[in-house]
A and B are shown apart, each in its own frame.
Chain A
Amino acid sequence: QSALTQPASVSGSPGQSITISCTGAGTDIGSYNLVSWYQQHPGKAPKLIIYEVTKRPSGVSPRFSGSKSDYTASLTISGLQPDDEANYHCCSYAGRNTLVFGGGTNLTVL
């Protein structure tokens, strides 16, 4: 159960688009379309924003989108807004009824 790899930080200006990558292995991202993404503001609980690679829960802005290629999943945020500044965590099913998270990416909106 090795952690997924995310960049420590990314940044963008309001209105721009950014993409956060999440790299795993053949035992997790590479084998299952069960990647989820969570947004976490400082001091708050995580919030689900993407599940099953590309799906958005009700109420989540369409500015958030997900994708996957081979062992890497990606989260794209378009039309950056100040409130998007937060930590973003990827997660994948890793077989044997376990989950594995990435180390988290801090997004700064300049």
Chain B
Amino acid sequence: EVELVESGGGLIQPGGSLRLSCAASGFTVDTSYMSWVRQAPGRGLEWVSVIFASGKSYYADFLKGRFTISRDSSKNILYLEMNNVAVEDSAVYYCARVGPPEALDIWGQGTMVTVSS
């Protein structure tokens, strides 16, 4: 069965760092395009980042270099390293596979990140 399971969310103070994980099963993350998408409480979805099978990565402009997407092929896990977080980064973070061209066909259940002092 194809599945994604996120972990690593929690309460963090402004300016802090956090690493989210997304464990994949049923397919390999290093032969897929993988994305992170977030959703603030009561708001719409917001695209965060993508990593290609080649390893190249791209980010939403608003991140200003604060987040880094990566993967561990041996563990079949996708990561999102979040640095210098702000209150506005509070959201449920979903990992998703890019299946059809530029569409996200497999989603995890999400992990909640709360940035608060």
- Chain A contact residues, CB within 8 Å of chain B: 1, 3, 6, 32, 34, 36, 38, 40, 45-48, 51-52, 55, 57, 89, 91-93, 96-104
Report the Cα distance A40→B45, complex, angstroms. 10
Assess A98 versus B60: contact at CB under 8 Å? Given A57-B100, A91-B103. Answer: yes
Does B35 make an interface contact (CB < 8 A)?
yes
* Total cross-chain contacts (CB, 8 A): 79
Q: Is the CB of B104 within 8 A of A36?
A: yes
14 examples of A-B residue contacts, CB within 8 angstroms: A6-B44, A36-B100, A38-B45, A45-B94, A45-B109, A51-B101, A51-B105, A92-B102, A93-B101, A97-B50, A97-B58, A98-B47, A99-B102, A101-B44
B-side residues, CB < 8 A to A, are 35, 37, 43-47, 50, 52, 56, 58, 60-62, 94, 99-105, 107-110
The answer to whether B45 touches A55 (Cβ under 8 A) is no
Contact of A52 among B37, B45, B101, B110 (CB under 8 A): B101
Cα distance A96–B110 in the bound complex, in angstroms? 26
Q: Which of A45, A47, A55, A102 contacts B44 (CB 8 A)?
A: A102
On whether the beta carbons of B60 and A1 are closer than 8 Å, the reply is yes
